Structure 1
Amino acid sequence: MTGPKIYFTIPLFGGIPITQTTVSSFVVMVLLCIAGICLGRNLQKRPGRRQVLVEKGVTVLYDMVADTMGPHNLYWTPYVGALFLSSLFGTLIGMTGILRSATADLSTTLTWALMTSVLCWACGIRANGFFGWLKGFSEPIAVMLPMNIVSEIAQPISMAFRHFGNIAGGGVLTSLLYTALATLSAAVLGLVAQSVVAAVIVLVIGIALFAWGFKARKLMRKIFGVVFAVTGLLALAGLSGVPYLEVGIPGILSLYFDVFSGGVQALVFSLLTMVYIGNACLPPEPAGQ
């Protein structure tokens, strides 16, 4: 697995490279904007199914922000929602096989993490003033100053690397699995294709296993029957270069690494964002205190 490919370079400011990540991020942004326009128009007092689902999703998001950040921070909900959806679909877009996952690039997750950190600092400055914000780094004692500075620097780095590492790691494992299965396919077909008798025996075993599994309603027997039967057919046809074992197993792993892990990482990133900004934007003190 390599880094994002550079499609072309815009000759401005010393050259602005347009990479796979840039294209994927732009496509996700456009799709989310179109979805927002389509789902948010023609709202009715008596909502239909589409409007009910959209309103339910928005309500769940606002409730989550209120529970995590406090009711006074509800105005952050659009930012949190945009971050979650950009992260989720930025990962899922890699399943198209055409575009690369935007979150598999450290520059994407690091940019989001830095945005969150800058917002936290802005909230601290707005609440305490610039010098009051700086004074907070040395509290409760001046000895804590270096540790507080390191903590502020480590916050965006840890957020970015956690998200990027999980998505990129899944992509690396999937790529290695594809290579291993292609090699195994060539080795098995090359071995079986050496003898017509062996190919016929493998084909017959596959048909028998599939029939047995169909009768007993056993999924694994059906799967092994299909694998044996396809191996025998390809060996008889002399198609030893077909990586047929790549079908199925990578798809199952993709459900975990792309769908499940992508959803979890988007949720974790959004929750951390809410926690950090919520700690920086404390509720206003009651009047008279």
Structure 2
Amino acid sequence: MNGIGDGPKIVFELFDGKIQITETVVMGWLIIVAVTLLCLWLTKDLKKVPEKKRQVLAEMFVNFINNMVRQNMGEKLMYYSPYIGALLISAILGALISMIGLRPMTADINVTAAWAVLTFILITYHKIKANGFGGYLKGFAKPVAFILPLNIISEVATPASMAFRLFGNVAGGMVITGLLYGALGALSSALHLSFEVGSWGFSVFQVGIPAVLSIYFDLFSGCIQAYIFSMLTMVNVGAAAEES
């Protein structure tokens, strides 16, 4: 796996190199396929009264998402539940794939920025719906005209902070884990605790310690940041919709 500073690898190219397909795109489609298959399995042979554990699990997830949307966006915006559910599960799986040796999808700023821009579009849509396009533009000059630049910066800062928060945490975890792994390998070599058998290498200090750190950054931190991103989406869109 390439370093975080190198960005995602180009897996293959289309139309004589005019379109480059990166690891991020491949990981994204793999997650889409996996989630689709999971949904088909969980929703197979549904009953009014659950008889199988998979239906209970599916209903628990749906109720969890519905409750989050209801509490943070209100009853009127319950139609956002499918989007929030898809966003949350995509962000979680996009981070957790690093635990099986693949590059996290959310370690690509293009992914988190695209999600943040979509949130910004939804916020803007509800503000224009509430105040009209003219009223939306006039809002940047309130309460006084000279703070217009600050209001514009504040508007742009919302998607920017959301994108960099999720990306920074996942990418930072990759960097720290990679540095520690390399340092432990060097320490093992210095203490003559590195062994090679043919093409296979083994360093004593690289066993166990990086795995514990990976559990924190990939599992705990990845899930928390995905949840925070979804919450910020709901809170910001919900606040904009309250004006309508």
TM-score normalised over the length of structure 2: 0.91
Query: For the Cα contact (< 8 Å) 1:70–1:283, is it kept in 2?
Result: no
Deviation of the 1:283 alpha carbon? 7.0
What does residue 129 of structure 1 align with?
132
SS in 2 for 1:189: coil
Letter of the 1:177 counterpart: L
Deviation of the 1:127 alpha carbon? 2.4
What does residue 161 of structure 1 align with?
164
Equivalent residue for 2:92, pick from 88, 93, 97: 88
Q: What is the Cα-based RMSD across aligned positions, in Å? A: 2.2
Letter of the 1:259 counterpart: L
Deviation of the 1:169 alpha carbon? 0.5
Equivalent residue for 1:53, pick from 50, 54, 57: 57
* Counterparts of 2:61 and 2:94, CA distance in 1: 19
SS in 2 for 1:41: coil
Deviation of the 1:81 alpha carbon? 0.9
Question: Following superposition, which runs of at least 4 residues in structure 1 exceed 6 angstroms of deviation?
Answer: none
1:44 maps onto 2:44 in alignment: no
What does residue 144 of structure 1 align with?
147
* Counterparts of 1:15 and 1:85, CA distance in 2: 31
Deviation of the 1:64 alpha carbon? 1.2
Query: For the Cα contact (< 8 Å) 2:127–2:243, is it kept in 1?
Result: no
Any idea what the Cα deviations from partners look like across 1:149-208, whole Å, max 9, x if unmatched?
A: 111111111111111111001000111111111111122226xxxxxxxxxxxxxxxxxx
TM-score normalised over the length of structure 1: 0.77
Q: Which has more radius of gyration?
A: 1
SS in 2 for 1:7: strand
Query: For the Cα contact (< 8 Å) 2:31–2:90, is it kept in 1?
Result: yes
Query: For the Cα contact (< 8 Å) 2:130–2:243, is it kept in 1?
Result: no
Deviation of the 1:143 alpha carbon? 2.2
Alignment of 1:219-258 (within 5 A): 242-258=202-218
% of aligned pairs identical? 47
Query: For the Cα contact (< 8 Å) 1:185–1:242, is it kept in 2?
Result: no
What does residue 234 of structure 2 align with?
274
* Counterparts of 1:267 and 1:90, CA distance in 2: 12
Distance change >3 Å, CA 283–CA 128, structure 1 → 2: closer
What does residue 65 of structure 1 align with?
69
Deviation of the 1:148 alpha carbon? 1.1
Deviation of the 1:10 alpha carbon? 2.0
Deviation of the 1:16 alpha carbon? 2.0
SS in 1 for 2:218: helix
Is there any run of 5+ residues in structure 2 with no aligned partner, and where? none
Alignment of 1:178-257 (within 5 A): 178-189=181-192, 242-257=202-217
SS in 2 for 1:61: helix
Any idea what the Cα deviations from partners look like across 1:238-287, whole Å, max 9, x if unmatched?
A: xxx63232111111001100000001100100000001100111176xxx
Deviation of the 1:20 alpha carbon? 0.9
